[in-house]
Structure 1
Amino acid sequence: MTENAKTHVILLSCGSFNPITKGHIHMFEKAREYLHKTGRFIVIGGIISPVHDSYGKPGLVPSKHRLTMCQLAVQSSDWIRVDPWECYQQTWQTTCSVLEHHRDLMKRVTGCILSNVNTPSSTPVIGQPQNQAPPVYQNHNNLANKPTAVKLLGKVSESLGKMCCARPSMDRFTFIDENANLGPAMRYEEIELRILLLCGSDLLESFCIPGLWKDSDMEVIVGDFGIVVVPRDGADTERIMNHSSVLRKHTENILMVKDDVNHPMSIVSSTKSRLALQHGDGHVVDYLNQPVIDYILQTQLYITASG
């Protein structure tokens, strides 16, 4: 299968990241490795989207700290970036809304034809383009010049919102936001692009808890987008799948990563990290990247039981 014939994937992970751990980064790496091995996918990017402060989870530190820690955790990555959109909204956003936001954003500013775009969402946007540059998606009457899709490549810049378009042959990627100056329209080869939710088996299991998720949201998340699941702490993912009618219905949209259940990163969690910090446990270096630990010590986050 040629590169352009493969499905190009952006992995999106939502969560508290309170704090972000080595386990979170491990999920991205294992998911990309597995999807590439299938021969059907090319992962062109990863997005970390920390939850809004109003989520109300006990011990959740302010988003300004969680965003900074996430940035520090991925500062050496050339394919994973941190997105602040969810934190910058007026209130908490559902996972479904976050997925729809990024889907609509990619379609609007790049002209991509996303394979999991069904209907436009009502997700609010930050703003309209500040410059009147020619749109990337234009000239609808001339199919020969119609840029049907793009692959997003390049190194993540320090600015959270800055992104750039590039041809599929390039080796690195980044993204574009609503306010980017896109410049002249460019032509691209047609590719299939999907945004998939990346999660651990604990989130998958939460789909089985009655009343926790709206049925309509689950249908959109699993049916319209699809999910990539990395097993955590020896979870029985097959048992979880059998306990949800929505999961059984959309089995083809659920990609289960074949990871070593005994891998040390599969048991790393934010909860264990906070406890280690509170008790001065040296094992915290096994859970968190050093720049994140340094930031936590500098700001005195999580040092007390109250957060």
Structure 2
Amino acid sequence: MSTSSLIATDPEGYEFPRSKLRTLQDPSKIPLVVVACGSYSPVTYLHLRMFEIAYDALRDQGVYEVLGGYFSPVSDMYSKPGLAPASHRIEMCQRAVETSSWIMVDTWEPKQSSYQRTATVLDHFHEQLNGPDSPSGGRGILLPDGSRTEIRVMLLAGGDLIQSFAVPNLWATADLNHILGKYGCVIIERTGADVHDFLLSNDSLHQHRKKVIVCKQYIHNDINSTKIRLFIRRGMSIKYLLPDRVVDYIHEHKLYLPDSK
């Protein structure tokens, strides 16, 4: 988004998560990591399903090999209504991915003291995976022949993100061109969002359309965090809308109640 961000540094004690990062099995394919930026207040089953839908779609293309996926929650400086403190959102995301063999949570963005643009966050991932300070020495991933290749980073998002691209002054054109031109985007179709129409109507999207991969939801899932928070405020059940461990955490810490922050 076009909101400015200050120069970011690694938070104290920060370590980039790599425990679930897979090794490349087919050197003829492009090694890829997908990154989902968002509030996750709270994280839901739809957020988790987005990763799995993207994984299937990318595998079917026969070009990429997905090595890992990351949740990157926004910092508290995003100042969005209903945004629980970053510490809670990080913990809920961590609980949500406990049973996943490839999805992780990166705490760099949520622990920043200023809002970080999506373009900056993707740069952070690229630097961690391919930069001079990465464990591989800035050469990406090791191939069987002893050479190395960069790990590609792509933004993972729902169709509603595409709609936001068209909102005047919400996204800086330079940021859109950076996100789409350098990294690319995996879009999960959402009910009510005509992704292909926005690909045609938005200049940046049309220019970089070959780097935008649209994934179809064969089983529609419209769970959203706003309604989850409303259910909680109204004393309604949220079971089966998010992982049980996340539900337990919300109740334990009394999140999203009328008198909570």
Query: How would you bin the TM-score normalised by the shorter chain?
Result: 0.7 to 0.9
Q: What's the secondary structure of 1:59's corresponding residue?
A: coil
State the partner residue of 2:141.
Answer: 150
State the partner residue of 1:11.
Answer: 34
Does structure 2 retain, via aligned residues, the 8 Å contact 1:229–1:257? yes
Shift, 1:3, TM fit: 1.4
Superposition pairs of residues 1-307 of structure 1, within 5 angstroms: 3-108=26-131, 136-137=136-137, 148-150=139-141, 188-191=146-149, 193-260=151-218, 263-265=219-221, 267-282=222-237, 284-304=238-258, 307=261
Question: Aligned in 2, Cα 1:15/1:3: closer, same or farther, shift over 3 Å?
Answer: same
Q: Distance in 2 between matches of 1:235 and 1:296?
A: 30
Letter in 2 for 1:281: M
Shift, 1:242, TM fit: 1.9
**Structure 1 gaps, min length 5:** 112-134, 139-147, 152-166, 169-186
Under a length normalisation based on structure 2, what TM-score does the superposition of the two structures give?
0.85
Q: What's the secondary structure of 1:9's corresponding residue?
A: strand
Q: Distance in 1 between matches of 2:214 and 2:220?
A: 19
Q: What's the secondary structure of 1:218's corresponding residue?
A: helix
Does structure 2 retain, via aligned residues, the 8 Å contact 1:9–1:194? yes
1:1-24, CA deviations, whole angstroms, 9 ceiling, x for partnerless residues? x81111111000100000000000
Shift, 1:231, TM fit: 0.7
Q: Distance in 2 between matches of 1:70 and 1:9?
A: 21
Shift, 1:285, TM fit: 1.8
Shift, 1:264, TM fit: 4.2
Q: Distance in 2 between matches of 1:212 and 1:83?
A: 25
Q: Distance in 1 between matches of 2:73 and 2:105?
A: 8
Shift, 1:105, TM fit: 1.5
Q: Distance in 2 between matches of 1:241 and 1:11?
A: 20
Question: Aligned in 2, Cα 1:52/1:77: closer, same or farther, shift over 3 Å?
Answer: same
Question: Aligned in 2, Cα 1:6/1:277: closer, same or farther, shift over 3 Å?
Answer: same
Q: Distance in 2 between matches of 1:281 and 1:241?
A: 38
Does structure 2 retain, via aligned residues, the 8 Å contact 1:150–1:188? no
Q: Distance in 2 between matches of 1:72 and 1:216?
A: 35
Q: What's the secondary structure of 2:68's corresponding residue?
A: strand
Shift, 1:193, TM fit: 2.2
Does structure 1 retain, via aligned residues, the 8 Å contact 2:180–2:211? yes
Does structure 2 retain, via aligned residues, the 8 Å contact 1:47–1:80? yes
Q: Distance in 2 between matches of 1:41 and 1:108?
A: 21
Q: Distance in 1 between matches of 2:150 and 2:107?
A: 26
1:242-296, CA deviations, whole angstroms, 9 ceiling, x for partnerless residues? 2210000001010011222xx242x0111111112222223x2232110000000
* Two-structure CA RMSD over aligned residues (Å): 2.1
Does structure 2 retain, via aligned residues, the 8 Å contact 1:22–1:288? yes
Q: State percent identity of aligned pairs.
A: 36
Does structure 2 retain, via aligned residues, the 8 Å contact 1:4–1:191? no
Shift, 1:108, TM fit: 2.5
Q: Distance in 1 between matches of 2:136 and 2:27?
A: 20
Aligned residues: 237
Letter in 1 for 2:65: I
Q: Distance in 1 between matches of 2:34 and 2:109?
A: 16
Quick check: which has more Rg, 1 or 2?
A: 1
Does structure 1 retain, via aligned residues, the 8 Å contact 2:130–2:136? no
Letter in 1 for 2:213: L
Question: Aligned in 2, Cα 1:249/1:305: closer, same or farther, shift over 3 Å?
Answer: farther
